[in-house]
Structure 1
Amino acid sequence: MATLKAAILVVSTTAANDPSTDAAEAALRAVFDQDGGGRWHVVETKIVGDVTTDIQRQILLWTDGPDPVNLVITTGGTGFSVADHTPEAVSVLLHKQAPGLVHAMLASSLAVTPFAMMSRPVAGVRNRTVIITLPGSPKGARENLQAVIKTLPHACQQAAGGDSRALHVGGVKALEKDAGISSTTQQPQQHNHHHHHTCSHGHTHGHGHAAPVRHTQDHHHQQQPLSNDPSLGPTRRQRKSPYPMLSVSDAIALIKQHTPSPNITAAKVTPSLTGSVIAEDVHAPEPVPAFRASIVDGYAVVVPPGGDMRGVVYPVVTVSHAAPEGGGGNGGGPLQLGQVARITTGAPVPEGATAVIMVEDTKLVSSTTTEDGREEEKEVEIFAEGVKEGENIREVGSDVEKGALILRKGEQVSAVGGEVGLLASVGVKEVKVFRRPVVGVLSTGDEIVEHDREGELRMGEVRDTNRPGLIAAAREWGYEVVDLGIAKDQAGSLEEVLRDALRRVDLVITTGGVSMGELDLLKPTIERALGGTIHFGRVAMKPGKPTTFATVPVKNNAGERVTRVIFSLPGNPASALVTFHLFVLPSLRQMSGISPTELPRVPVVLSHDFPLDKVRPEYHRAVVSVGRDGVLFATSTGGQRSSKVGSMKGANALLCMPAGAEPLPKASRVEALLIGNLHSDL
């Protein structure tokens, strides 16, 4: 099955000036990847302003050259705005009209909202290329392309000159089977979604609309938004979450699958390297030691045959200090048998010397006065037998040979200092490391006020405890954190804050706004406004059931398509900190190149009876201590209500407790996820 080439043209003056504002390209690429049956390769994307000549010039480059693409998709400029020129620009280029494709797109959207009639799509063929215009909003563009994507390979094959008789062998049923569709699934009235839509068919207008509410899962449309449409009001919101309840292990697997790979950067070898993960093998550029060095204070000697040096008096002919100006030579040449050189620890061993005798094995016999009046050793007697060549000498490269592998890719630089010291010892000035992601922390809710605001709280106000706590936790684990403040429960305001944050940080943590209330706007904003994908929206655990994990495609400052991560955590303080350690931290560690990504789990013994939740497994906050016999014991921090931030005070572990009707008795063994240092009862 041949691969077809597609090109995407983004028509937007705003995006032309700032490519990072465009989310439609990523949404369309996702449709090709996920719904295209492996038939498509998007070969190029361009962004042009709302100018007719610019639109036409780019399309002609793709359709009239020696190697034309099979499909050109435009997004933007199809509305009623004065600046919307795309349909007019494209229509004059078409050699054949394709009203059926236009009808399919409009019918699909009209089944969702009457406002779809405000879009003005155009479709047809120029030379051997199919051209289709789509709305500018990511969701509108995505829905329109999904409506026709399965029939486009057949259209492109015909347009490219394929034999019509051969293409239609087997009739319509064979074509439907080959495309993976049926006549029933393509009827507009069968256009079932789990959600209400907010549709904006063009860059310059938007509208809300009501959609049929469906209460069963339809796995074929999982890429469609599942969240409520905030514009419909509380009476049309879903009464039950459409997101499937995942196990903790399944949620962690999705995080691992969709967390972006770490980026590599260069870092200076300084104490700030602590916590970084080495991104490539490091070899020693020079040996350690770089010269033959004494490991004791004493006298360098030439070992006589047999090694017996007892009771012999030797002249001291030179001195070797560790400082370079201390010398190490003998002035007249190599050290000779019967001569000694006084030497300090770490100093170069004089040429010709074969061993160093410790000062403790010698006695001063005579001294002399130098020209500047100082007393100097003249002769020493040595009391040593069985002396072997090489004694008390560190040979060149005996600690680290030149070219030796000193750090492997994936090793983390610890706070102990050994890795930094090793790199410094061999003269490494800079290493490749995995860049540590930058974290943004945002609180949401009209009721949230700064924790340090003066004065008493008014009715309904809540001090922000989540943001300070999460910022402290992320920094404790070594990550740079951007304080994103507090966002109000207003869709447009929240979207603006998140868009700005996604340009500045790699991972956003939000708290609150992920339940089923009419003002819970995180999920709708991520899916509907940002064009993101929610990979899970509920987890079977206590606390933290509404935890949400999503990825959003954005363009960075270099214009490159990248993926940003959003974790929307519950608003209750204990839930937020528990889910940070259970879900967010593994994602951060994966982006940092740290392996394993999860925190260590250890078996512990319960110090007392522990109550269990009857329905969900619970992550019980606890203090784990080392007993006298080396066994780890766990003690509860007290009440475990998810709103009780005090349950995290002093906790160094989360106990992985099963669901059950009866308490788990004292001395039972469970698994604990360590989130802090162990305590000792010794």
Structure 2
Amino acid sequence: MSVNESYFVGILTVSDTSAKNSEKDLSGPGLKNVFLEANSRSKIPFKVAKTKIVPDEFNDIQDTVKQWCDIEKLDLIITTGGTGFGIRDITPEAIQPILNKFCSGITQAMLSASLQKTPFASLSRPISGIRGNTIILTVPGSPKGARESVEAVINVLPHAIDLIRGGKGEDVHARLHQETNVQGSGHECVHVKYEHHFDEIGTTRSFLSDSLSDPVTKRQRKSPYPMISVEEALSIVANHVNVLPTTTVLVDQNLIGMVLAEDVVAKEPVPGYPASIVDGYAVIASDGPGVYPVVGVSIADSNSKPSEDILRPGQIARITTGGAIPNGATSVVMIENTTLIRASDDGLQEEEVEIHVQANEGENIRKIGSDTSVGTIVASKGELISAVGGEVGILASVGVKEVKIYKRPIFGILSTGNEVINHNDPSELKCGQIRDSNRPALLATAKATGFEAKDFGIVKDNAKELENSLRSALSQVDVLVTTGGVSMGEFDLLKPILEQSLGAKIHFGRLKMKPGKPTTFATLPGNSPNSHEKLIFALPGNPVSAIVTFYLFVLPALRRFSGYEKWDYPILQVELANSVSLDPRPEYHRAIISFDKTKGKFIANSTGRQISSRILSMRSCNALLKLPGKTDQLSGLSQGTTVDALLIGQLI
């Protein structure tokens, strides 16, 4: 971009008080002055195009920011207020779900600058990120805190905006490099420095992973991918998953696990004729108790034709459950309330029966459409067809032969590793070999949760072979899941091949969690205007890490693709039956939960030693306990502590 082109800024004040009286807003005008000062001091052409004040309301915050990003196309949005610990402070929670990317470096810079001024800055919860082509920063509501946060990063924002607009940032980069020391208004000098990733000959590269052409001696010793939280990662994945188009399918057992894309109405009434609810006798209620001749029979039989004869006063007809009510009959008396008086000479037919009770009009008769009338909505858009079977039965009963559903994603599973062999290979293991447990486990998990996966087998740690296998698999699926090859070893090739060979974008490559730290998520753009991007989940090779991250990230994405309204897994409050030690990273501890009738609580029993290679820790596991990271103040949780549990299996 040209350095003379303006950067359009929006300033959103989030405050219940200021929303009632705009004169109370000091932070918004203060931030406007920050940008005016930057313009005059450093000739950075910031232009405050939008200002607004909203109360601390989730929808008001989100709607304004979405409007400014998606419609107004602003380059930068600053929200001030609502980032603290107060009950009404919800700005980060409102902004986070609508971000496409997180800018953890900017967030850290703002916090670091504020912490140099006051330790109370640790009570602020800022986030920053990107939506579309707009950078969004959330800063404190105090005028001083807001100013300090923005001034900490204001000199890098032009460069960031230029990159988001699709440029390389040379103009801004060159100009700001000349200003090695930028004197702030009343603040210490700030040294401005921009860094790219360089190879040995000094040329810049756009990827973070090790170059595929470099020897092992040139590999990075620390992961270049910023470590983000599971919550941030889930939000990133969700922003890349859209419900798939619809299709029409037959109503049968294959419908289980699909989500309806439209309301379904009954095409036929249930019942389609007046039917008896019980075994007994069709009568005319006004006849009352007495002995009556049996003049007909009505049974539930699709081959039987309804009699055209009319039941007349003083007559009754034998009838079975589900049988059609004879013309003229107004009630049905149960067989228990009758006595046989006379049979035919051959003893095969009833000729006279005594009725002992007074029947009521309409008694024991199901009227036409009494269960379901034509046009009744029997299933709603967004409804899941469950394995219980009720939904399929309902659709079948009302004459619905096919329904419109959301397509389910096509996805595949691929294992990597020179040491990995098929689990059913008949040969004995050689030194250094392991049997592939990841693929069988994930294929089984997928099937049990309603998704069929393509099995792409095992690929060796060879760059060209792996690239070809990935290309082939991605041409056949919407979502590809791989296991192994994402750590820091010389044969961990997934990240560099995704970035450098396939042109995929890695959105995260390291997570603050145990197990599953090196979990990687990438997207590959469609190769035509009408094709959609492919999702790639590169999961760790350790079997427990692979299964846990499959439940945490892959299955929710598949469910969201398929139209599930509740696509994440339910969380229960459970009581620990054992004391547990904590890890510095938040942990997803495998456990077996059951309901204790005496306590009236769900109780969680650990599955034992939790190292990520020990797949025995998944045995009978039906829940992942969400344990916090270890701190100086908290090294473990005692028996009886209540924690959140992600339910992944059936309760026992």
With normalisation by structure 2, the TM-score equals: 0.68
Q: What SS class does the counterpart of residue 504 from structure 1 fall into?
A: coil
Structure-2 residue corresponding to 1:114? none
Cα offsets for 1:282-311 (capped at 9, x unmatched): 00011100110001111111221xxx712x
Name the CA shift for 1:536/1:473 in 2 (closer, same or farther; >3 Å). same
The 1-side partners of 2:230 and 2:416 are apart by: 25
Indicate yes or no: 2:510 matched with 1:538.
Answer: yes
1:323-334 correspondence runs (5 A): 323-331=301-309, 334=310
User: Which ranges of structure 2 fall in alignment gaps of 5 or more residues?
Assistant: 1-68, 75-132, 134-161, 179-192
State percent identity of aligned pairs.
Answer: 49
Of 370, 393, 410, 1:421 maps to: 393
Indicate yes or no: 2:591 matched with 1:603.
Answer: no
Deviation at 1:564, TM superposition (A): 1.6
Name the CA shift for 1:456/1:476 in 2 (closer, same or farther; >3 Å). same
Structure-2 residue corresponding to 1:344? 320
Cα offsets for 1:321-341 (capped at 9, x unmatched): 11144343253xx22222212
Structure-2 residue corresponding to 1:183? 171
Of 673, 676, 682, 2:646 maps to: 673
Name the CA shift for 1:604/1:212 in 2 (closer, same or farther; >3 Å). farther
Structure-1 residue corresponding to 2:593? 624
Structure-1 residue corresponding to 2:298? 320
Deviation at 1:621, TM superposition (A): 0.9
Deviation at 1:38, TM superposition (A): 6.4
Deviation at 1:412, TM superposition (A): 1.1
Name the CA shift for 1:533/1:313 in 2 (closer, same or farther; >3 Å). same
Indicate yes or no: 2:553 matched with 1:565.
Answer: no
Indicate yes or no: 2:408 matched with 1:406.
Answer: no
Name the CA shift for 1:196/1:185 in 2 (closer, same or farther; >3 Å). closer
CA contact (8 A) 1:194 1:242 kept: no
Name the CA shift for 1:544/1:356 in 2 (closer, same or farther; >3 Å). same
Deviation at 1:196, TM superposition (A): 5.8
The 2-side partners of 1:605 and 1:226 are apart by: 42
Of 283, 288, 293, 1:309 maps to: 288
**2:171 partner letter:** S
Of 236, 240, 244, 1:254 maps to: 236
Deviation at 1:495, TM superposition (A): 1.4
Structure-2 residue corresponding to 1:470? 442
Cα offsets for 1:16-66 (capped at 9, x unmatched): xxxxxxxxxxxxxxxxxx9xx969xxxxxxxxxxxxxxxxxxxxxxxxxxx
Indicate yes or no: 2:429 matched with 1:451.
Answer: no
Indicate yes or no: 2:466 matched with 1:494.
Answer: yes
CA contact (8 A) 2:243 2:406 kept: no
The 2-side partners of 1:519 and 1:182 are apart by: 35
The 2-side partners of 1:618 and 1:418 are apart by: 38
Q: What SS class does the counterpart of residue 246 from structure 1 fall into?
A: coil
Structure-2 residue corresponding to 1:297? 279
Of 327, 333, 345, 1:357 maps to: 333
**1:469 partner letter:** A
With normalisation by structure 1, the TM-score equals: 0.65
1:112-123 correspondence runs (5 A): none
CA RMSD of aligned residues (A): 2.9
1:422-441 correspondence runs (5 A): 422-441=394-413
Structure-2 residue corresponding to 1:659? 629
Name the CA shift for 1:381/1:659 in 2 (closer, same or farther; >3 Å). same
Deviation at 1:602, TM superposition (A): 0.3
Name the CA shift for 1:193/1:285 in 2 (closer, same or farther; >3 Å). farther
How many residues matched? Answer: 476
CA contact (8 A) 2:580 2:636 kept: yes
The 2-side partners of 1:500 and 1:576 are apart by: 22
Cα offsets for 1:80-101 (capped at 9, x unmatched): xxxxxxxxxxxxxxxxxxxxxx
Name the CA shift for 1:342/1:596 in 2 (closer, same or farther; >3 Å). same
The 1-side partners of 2:269 and 2:331 are apart by: 21
The 2-side partners of 1:528 and 1:182 are apart by: 23
CA contact (8 A) 2:581 2:636 kept: yes
Deviation at 1:251, TM superposition (A): 0.8
Cα offsets for 1:312-360 (capped at 9, x unmatched): 22222221111144343253xx222222121111011112211111112
CA contact (8 A) 1:196 1:227 kept: no
CA contact (8 A) 2:581 2:637 kept: yes
Bigger-Rg structure (1/2): 1
The 2-side partners of 1:232 and 1:179 are apart by: 28
Name the CA shift for 1:313/1:451 in 2 (closer, same or farther; >3 Å). closer
Name the CA shift for 1:342/1:502 in 2 (closer, same or farther; >3 Å). same
